[in-house]
Amino acid sequence: MNRINGILAGLSFLGLLSASGYAEMDKLPMGGYTILAALLIGVLTISVRSAVKHYYEGD
């Protein structure tokens, strides 16, 4: 499960970088970028939190 959280965190980060690039090139509307960025940051936060919790608590 810890490996899945790490993969999700990495993919979320890469997705956020990609979305930022598309928004800068005006290929992604700012409203769409805001929603997508919020979703990806949420997934990233949850995944990192779960991975850290698993690492320290050993669940």
| Confidence (pLDDT) at 40 | 92
For the record, the structure tokens of 6 come out as: 């790490």
From the CB of residue 52, how many other CB atoms can be counted at a distance below 10 Å? 12
What residue segments make up the domains of the chain, in order of their start?
Answer: 2-57
At 15-28, the pLDDT tens digits run 999 988 888 888 88
Q: What is the reported pLDDT for 2?
A: 72
**Position 28, amino acid:** L
pLDDT number for residue 35: 92
Task: Tell me the C-alpha distance between 37 and 15, whole Å.
Answer: 9
Cβ 47 vs Cβ 12: under 8 Å? yes
Q: pLDDT tens, 8-55?
A: 888 999 999 998 888 888 888 888 889 999 999 999 999 888 888 888
Look at residue 58 and tell me whether its pLDDT is greater than 80.
Answer: no
Q: Which amino acid is at 24?
A: E
CB 4 within 8 Å of CB 43: no
pTM of the model: 0.77
